[in-house]
C-alpha cells in the first residue's frame, strides 16, 4: 500500500471530519478511540485529549454488577474527568438485563455521552460469566440485554461486537439487524472471531457486510495502523467511521495527524512517555500506576526497531520515578522507527 500523498491525506481528513449523528446527539468527527481494558484509562484519555482530533472516547471495560454502586474516586475503571463526559462513552460488560439496566441508569445519571454494551471481549473470566463475546453464542439473550438497556435510558446506545464464534458472517448480520430493531444507535464492529487474539488479519470485507445490512452507523475496527489503512477501510467498507485501539496507545497523536495538518515534534515519543507517567501518578496509587505503565510499554516499545530491548528497560523499573529515569535515558529523538509497529509485540 502506497503512502498517502497530500491530496489523499486531505481526502482522509475531510472524510473523518464530517460530524456524525448517534441517536439524539452529534459527534464532531468519525475517528474514535476504541474501548481498551487496562489501557484506555482516565490517565491515558487525559493525555490523548492534549493532542486533540479524537471524536469520541470510551472507558475501560466496566463490570455491570459493580457500576451501580461503584465510586469513581476509588474505582480503577469507572473513573473520569468531568471535562471529558460530553465525549465519553462508558463500556459495560454484563450477562443479563437485570445486571445491565441499573448500570445503564447509573451511567446516564453521571452524564456520559452514551452507554456501550461489550459483546467482543473473549477473555475467559468474562466469558465464564456469560458476558462479553459469550452473548454472541446466545442471540436471544443478547437481544434481551439490548432491549432492557434501551428501555431504561435515552442516551445513545452502542454495541461493540465481533463476528462470533465461527467464521460465518451471516449470524453477525442477523444479529446486527436485530440490534438495530431493538434500538441500538451505533455498532462498532471488529471483524474477527471471538477467540482470535489478533493472530490473523481482520476480515475487512465483513465490515462492509455489516454496514450494508443496517441503517444505523457502523464503525470499523481492527488492524488500522497507518492513515492508508484508515482511508482504505472507509473507502472499501462503507463504514461511517473508524475506531482505533492499540495503535492509539502507541501513537496517540494519530487522531490529530489524520484529521488536521498536525505534525508531531521530534520529541513526541519522549514527551508522551513522560506525560503518561505523570498522568498515571496523578490518577492512581503507585502500584496501579506502575502496572498500567508496564502494560502501556508493550505498545509504546513496538514503535521502535529495537523495541524489545527498550521495553525490557521499562520493565526493570520498580517505581514511577525509575520509569521517568528510563524514559529520559533511553527515549531520544532520532531513534529508528518502524512504519507499522511490531505485531509480534502486540500479541504479548
**Structure confidence by residue, pLDDT tens digits, 292-319:** 999 999 999 999 998 989 999 999 999 9
212 shares its domain with 240: yes
Binding residue ranges? 91, 160, 190, 245-246
Q: Are residues 104 and 172 in the same domain?
A: yes
- What are the residues facing 220 on neighbouring strands? 189, 242
Q: Taking Cα atoms as reference points, which of 145, 231, 243, 139 lies closest to residue 191?
A: 243
Task: Give the DSSP per-residue string, 111-129.
Answer: T-SEEEEEE----HHHHTT
Residues tagged in the binding site annotation for FMN = 91, 160, 190, 245-246
Instruction: Please state the rounded mean pLDDT for residues 145-166.
Output: 97
- pLDDT in the model for residue 339: 81
Number of structural domains (the chain) is 2
pLDDT, tens digit (0-9, with 9 covering 90-100), for 217-259? 999 999 999 999 999 999 999 999 999 999 999 999 999 999 9
Is 235 part of any domain?
Answer: yes
Query: What is the residue-wise DSSP string for 196-209?
Result: --SSS---HHHHHH
Q: Is residue 123 part of a domain?
A: yes
Whether the CA torsion 35, 37, 43, 44 is positive or negative: it is negative
Containing structural domain, residue 342: 268-346
Q: Averaged over 36-57, what is the pLDDT?
A: 97
Please name the residues in contact with 214: beta carbons below 8 A apart, sequence gap of 6 or more.
176, 177, 179, 180, 187
Residue 1 lies in a domain: no
Same domain? 253 vs 321: no
User: What value does the mean pLDDT take over residues 124-139?
Assistant: 95
Q: Is residue 344 pLDDT above 80, yes or no?
A: no
Confidence category of residue 343, pLDDT binned at 50, 70, 90: low
Among 224, 259, 294, the domain boundary falls at 259
* DSSP codes of every residue in 196-265: --SSS---HHHHHHHHHH-SS-EEEES---SHHHHHHHHHHH--SEEEE-HHHHH-TTHHHHHHSS----
Mean pLDDT (whole number) for 88-116: 98
pLDDT in the model for residue 1: 45
- pTM (2 decimals)? 0.94
Where residue 18 sits, what CATH number does that domain have? 3.20.20.70
Question: Across all residues in the chain, what is the average pLDDT?
Answer: 94
Residue with cell 502501556: 296
CA distance 27 to 320: 36
pLDDT band at residue 341 using 50, 70 and 90 as cut-offs: confident
Whether residues 44 and 79 fall in one domain: yes
Identify the band that residue 208 occupies on the pLDDT scale cut at 50, 70 and 90.
Answer: very high
- Active-site residue list: 121
250 and 291 inside one domain = no
105 and 154 part of one domain: yes
Amino acid at each position: 500500500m502506497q503512502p498517502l500523498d497530500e491530496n489523499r491525506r486531505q481526502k482522509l481528513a475531510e472524510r473523518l471530519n464530517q460530524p456524525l449523528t448517534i441517536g439524539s446527539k452529534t459527534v464532531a468527527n468519525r475517528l474514535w478511540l476504541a474501548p481498551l481494558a487496562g489501557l484506555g484509562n482516565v490517565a491515558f484519555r487525559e493525555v490523548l485529549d492534549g493532542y486533540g482530533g479524537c471524536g469520541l472516547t470510551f472507558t475501560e471495560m466496566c463490570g455491570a454488577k459493580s457500576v451501580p454502586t461503584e465510586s469513581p474516586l476509588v474505582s480503577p475503571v469507572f473513573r473520569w474527568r468531568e471535562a471529558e463526559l460530553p465525549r465519553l462513552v462508558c463500556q459495560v460488560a454484563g450477562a443479563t438485563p437485570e445486571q445491565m439496566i441499573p448500570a445503564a441508569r447509573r451511567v446516564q445519571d453521571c452524564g456520559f455521552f452514551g452507554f456501550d454494551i461489550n459483546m467482543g471481549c473473549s477473555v475467559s473470566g468474562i466469558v465464564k460469566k456469560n458476558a462479553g463475546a459469550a452473548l454472541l453464542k446466545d442471540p436471544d439473550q443478547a437481544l434481551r440485554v439490548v432491549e432492557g438497556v434501551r428501555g431504561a435510558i435515552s442516551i445513545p446506545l452502542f454495541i461493540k461486537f465481533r463476528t462470533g464464534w465461527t467464521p460465518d458472517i451471516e449470524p453477525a448480520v442477523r444479529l446486527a439487524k436485530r440490534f438495530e430493531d431493538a434500538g441500538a444507535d451505533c455498532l462498532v464492529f471488529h471483524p474477527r472471531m471471538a477467540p482470535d487474539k489478533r493472530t490473523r488479519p481482520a476480515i475487512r470485507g465483513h465490515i462492509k457486510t455489516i454496514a450494508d445490512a443496517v441503517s444505523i452507523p457502523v464503525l470499523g475496527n481492527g488492524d488500522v495502523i497507518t492513515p492508508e489503512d484508515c482511508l482504505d477501510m472507509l473507502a472499501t467498507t462503507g463504514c461511517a467511521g473508524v475506531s482505533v485501539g492499540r495503535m492509539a496507545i502507541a501513537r496517540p497523536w494519530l487522531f490529530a495527524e489524520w484529521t488536521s495538518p498536525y505534525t508531531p515534534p521530534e520529541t513526541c515519543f519522549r514527551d508522551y512517555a513522560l506525560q503518561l507517567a505523570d498522568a498515571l501518578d496523578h490518577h492512581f496509587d503507585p502500584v496501579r500506576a506502575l502496572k498500567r505503565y508496564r502494560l502501556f510499554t508493550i505498545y509504546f516499545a513496538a514503535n521502535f526497531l529495537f523495541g524489545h530491548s527498550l521495553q525490557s528497560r521499562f520493565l526493570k523499573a520498580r517505581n514511577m520515578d525509575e520509569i521517568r529515569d528510563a524514559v529520559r535515558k533511553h527515549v531520544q529523538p532520532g531513534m529508528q522507527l518502524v512504519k507499522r509497529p511490531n505485531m509480534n509485540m502486540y500479541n504479548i
